[in-house]
């Protein structure tokens, strides 16, 4: 009796889309996010979806596989995860179940795509690069700079320090320009120092507001 030999299965190579096909798929995805944001969210999410699509198109993710709606739902889920979209105290507010229902998908499908997107873009909650305008205002990660090994709220620093941080792209705008002038009876709060060291927004060599520790030409010279 001859011994049966198993035939080796040939691995089918995944069809690599042409540039035109890939661009069309990306357009299909962003068209879905546009519609969803117009119907359920706001202009901030609309703009963030476009920015995220630009990043994902060059990320290497297989956007041409699966349904376009699953990737669109994953993008909304990922941005909602960053901005706490599920939190009732935020506006707009949606649960993951509602997002999934809006795309006609299961929660598991959009969660899986969301995880892929978050991993490839290295997203974190309160991520300063992917926050809505409303979230940016009170996001501690946006305004915290590391100075002398400690985290300092740049909003409590002199305007000159804020301006230099802004010019270096460390903060989205100069807080002092949007703050109301203190009244004469207001004693002020001074600088706020937090025990929250982080590599994000790290500014080595930045002088403390209490006075320079060494002769440094500029507050952020080492980052230039």
Most confident stretch, 112-116, 137-141, 175-179: 112-116
Per-residue model confidence as pLDDT tens digits over 51-107? 999 999 999 999 999 999 999 999 999 999 999 999 998 889 999 999 999 999 999
Examine the domain organization and report whether 99 and 179 are in the same domain.
Answer: no
Whole-Å CA distances, 57 to 18, 60, 62: 13, 7, 9
Instruction: Report the candidate in 102, 70, 69 with the shortest Cα–Cα distance to residue 85.
Output: 102
At 144, which helix (H) or strand (E)? strand 144-147
- Mean pLDDT score of the chain, rounded to an integer? 79
At 53, which helix (H) or strand (E)? helix 43-57
Cα–Cα dist 20/18, whole Å:
5
Confidence of residue 24 (pLDDT cuts 50, 70, 90): very high
State yes or no: pLDDT of 12 exceeds 90. Answer: no
What is the domain-level CATH number for residue 31?
A: 1.10.472
Examine the domain organization and report whether 41 and 94 are in the same domain.
Answer: yes
- Residue 147 inside a domain? The answer is yes
- Residue 184 inside a domain? The answer is yes
- Residue 102 inside a domain? The answer is yes
- Residue 7 inside a domain? The answer is no
Whole-Å CA distances, 175 to 195, 200, 221: 22, 19, 21
Examine the domain organization and report whether 174 and 117 are in the same domain.
Answer: no
Examine the domain organization and report whether 117 and 171 are in the same domain.
Answer: no
Choose one of 127, 156, 190: the last residue of a domain: 127
Examine the domain organization and report whether 144 and 207 are in the same domain.
Answer: yes
Confidence of residue 212 (pLDDT cuts 50, 70, 90): very low
User: How many Cβ atoms are within 10 Å of 224's Cβ, its own excluded?
Assistant: 8
Instruction: Quote the domain boundaries for residue 157.
Output: 139-223
- Residue 64 inside a domain? The answer is yes
User: φ and ψ at 152, to 5 degrees?
Assistant: -125, 135
Is pTM beyond 0.75? Reply is: no
The count of structural domains within the chain is: 2
Inter-residue contact 203 to 223 (CB < 8 Å): yes
User: φ and ψ at 181, to 5 degrees?
Assistant: -65, 130
Choose one of 107, 127, 147: the last residue of a domain: 127
Per-residue model confidence as pLDDT tens digits over 127-146? 988 999 888 877 777 788 88
Choose one of 64, 96, 127: the last residue of a domain: 127
Examine the domain organization and report whether 118 and 160 are in the same domain.
Answer: no
């Amino acid at each position: 009796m001859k011994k049966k030999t198993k035939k080796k299965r040939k691995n089918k190579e995944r069809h690599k889309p042409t540039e035109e096909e890939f661009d069309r798929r990306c357009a299909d995805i962003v068209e879905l996010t546009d519609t969803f944001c117009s119907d359920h969210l706001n202009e901030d999410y609309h703009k963030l979806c476009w920015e995220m699509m630009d990043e994902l198109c060059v990320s290497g993710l297989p956007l041409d596989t699966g349904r376009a709606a699953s990737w669109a739902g994953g993008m909304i889920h990922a941005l909602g995860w960053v901005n706490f979209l599920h939190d009732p105290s935020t506006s707009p507010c949606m649960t993951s179940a509602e997002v999934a229902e809006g795309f006609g998908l299961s929660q598991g499908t959009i969660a899986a795509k969301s995880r892929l997107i978050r991993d490839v873009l290295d997203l974190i909650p309160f991520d300063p690069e992917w926050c809505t305008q409303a979230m940016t205002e009170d996001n501690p990660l946006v305004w915290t700079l590391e100075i002398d090994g400690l985290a300092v709220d740049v909003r409590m620093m002199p305007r000159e320090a804020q301006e230099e941080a802004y010019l270096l792209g460390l903060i989205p705008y100069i807080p002092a320009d949007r703050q109301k002038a203190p009244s004469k009876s207001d004693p002020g709060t001074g600088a706020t120092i937090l025990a929250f060291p982080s590599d994000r927004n790290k500014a080595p060599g930045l002088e403390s507001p209490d006075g320079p520790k060494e002769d440094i030409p500029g507050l952020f010279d080492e980052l230039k």
